[in-house]
Amino acid sequence: MTTVTITGRDRHGVGIAVHDGKQIYVPQALVGEVMEVEIGAPFTPKSARCPGTIKEILTPSPYRVDPQQHCAYAGRCGGCQLPHVSYEGQLAYKRDDIVAALSTVVGEQAEAFVRPLIPTSARPCRFKSIRYAASSSSARTPLRLGFYAPNSHDLVPVDACPLEPERFAQVAQGLEAILNELSIPSYDERKPQAETAVRALQLRGGDVNSVSAYLIMTGRLNKAQRTALEHSAQKLGLESLTVGYNNAPGNALFTRELELIAGAESITKTLLGARFAVYPNTFLQVNYEICTKLYEAAIAHCAQAQSHDLALDLCCGVGTMSLALAQHFEQVVGVEIVAESIAAAQANATANGLAQKCDFIAADMTKALPELIKRKRPNAIIADPARVGLGEANAKLLGKVPGPCRLAVIFCALTALKRDLPLLIKGGFKLDYVQGFDMFPGSQHVETLVCLTKA
Ligand SMILES: C[S@@+](CC[C@H](N)C(=O)[O-])C[C@H]1O[C@@H](n2cnc3c(N)ncnc32)[C@H](O)[C@@H]1O
């Protein structure tokens, strides 16, 4: 047994101690804690990095809580990473992470740019929306839905997750029961699947407590299975049940091949005063309270532009921010790579009486940006890319936007912020402020809004 002090955290929330020139990675250890750990063999033969296992915590962090109080699956399930950290501690860690990432760009000034993290008001915050059936360990009979174990694709079956809406647990259990009655197994991601199997279930809440379910399967349902699932959807009171067919190897979920089994094709969600039709294969943030606050902040930054002729909404999804931007600008152009999302965005603009003010382009932003920047000279831009961030090409293109222009970029990952922000600053943008929004409490992820201005 070795006594160590935890001095750092990796990006998965794992505590790091330094001992005898080695870095010891200790899951569930918190910065500042002194503990006895068992040190394992290095991760790779010549590596100075070793795993550590907590044996006894000698000095606990003031942020430590008993995770079992909130969740019976804590420690085994990787659905969230910080169940052993108080909410106050989670907010402090996330803000520290933002400051650390920003300091790689602006040095010691970072602290001054970072505003307090915006927390969720609900405790616990029930935002989780995807359960998995697929597993890399073994296909399960009976089929179970749950989350992956930490750092693996081994399934931890879960009856009810404290981070998902209570109604979702009832729906997941109901669907699990009918899928088992129909003898439909879970997908084994290690081998090609001959029979129809379940990969994952995505649940979404619309307005007025409605729930829609999206089952991602490897093969087509037969008529009897379809009828049974339709009855089950009605019994469970689902607004809709859609099946997506995806027989690609690996663990990708996205598919264009959809079949509506019961109910409506889309759900309706009201955000920022506009009503949005959202489809199973179009993006919608999961934490409505926090995404509303995040969008309001990004739009407020853009609304202070010097002129209000044109705003761009890059990676616009179903137009959630485009329609709100249209309240401040004569014209809004939304760009999005998923054609189904653009079709929904167009219909959403029409349904909200904003079709005249909004244009939507189905394209990769890298292809659309040069023309938009040169010809249209936007006064303000929101960019809300996927976890990979803007990428070097797009950050350089945005750097070429002529001033004056206001820019709000939303980063899902701080690694992307560290890579993209220097390119935006090099392109002539000045950093105004940075703010974290706690979209995914319990996880180590933080959504980070970066607001910039070019004179
Ligand atoms: C985090 S979501 C944000 C969507 C929308 N702004 C919202 O909040 O609902 C990122 C979106 O970027 C889109 N996307 C990913 N890569 C893209 C690209 N290269 N060009 C345009 N859109 C892209 C995705 O399809 C997805 O809808």
pLDDT of the residue at 372: 94
Tell me which CATH code domain 130-267 carries.
Answer: 2.40.50.1070
* CATH ID of 274-454, from 3.30.420.40, 3.40.50.150, 1.10.3720.10, 1.10.490.10: 3.40.50.150
Residue with the smallest CA separation from ligand 1 atom 12 is: 315
Which of 315, 325, 397 is the best mutation target for the ligand 1 pocket, counting ligand atoms within 8 Å of the beta carbon and taking the most? 315
pLDDT of the residue at 209: 78
- Counting from 1 in the atom list of ligand 1, the atom nearest the Cα of 391 is 19
Residues with CB under 6 A from ligand 1: 283-285, 315-317, 320-321, 335-338, 341, 364-365, 384-386
- Listed residue (145, 139, 154, 273) closest to 203, CA to CA: 145
Residue with the smallest CA separation from ligand 1 atom 27 is: 317
Per-10-residue mean pLDDT for the chain, 455 residues long?
Answer: 94 91 95 96 93 97 92 90 93 95 97 97 86 70 88 89 93 95 87 82 88 94 96 96 90 86 93 94 93 98 98 98 98 97 97 97 97 91 97 97 97 97 98 97 95 98
Looking at the domain 2-61, which fold is it?
OB fold (Dihydrolipoamide Acetyltransferase, E2P) (2.40.50)
pLDDT of the residue at 141: 67
DSSP assignments along 73-109, one per residue: TTTT--S-S-TTB-HHHHHHHHHHHHHHHHHHHHGGG
pLDDT of the residue at 138: 56
Tokens representing residue 11 in the block: 């990006």
Number of H helices, E strands in the chain: 10, 22
How long is the chain? 455
> What are the structural domain ranges in the chain?
2-61, 130-267, 274-454
Which of 285, 332, 337 is the best mutation target for the ligand 1 pocket, counting ligand atoms within 8 Å of the beta carbon and taking the most? 337
Tell me if domain 2-61 and domain 274-454 are identical in fold. no
- The CA 315 to ligand 1 mean position distance, Å, reads 4
Residue with the smallest CA separation from ligand 1 atom 7 is: 317
- The CA 137 to ligand 1 mean position distance, Å, reads 32
Give CA–CA dist 237/155, Å, rounded.
27
Beta-bridge partner residues of 204: 212
pLDDT of the residue at 251: 72
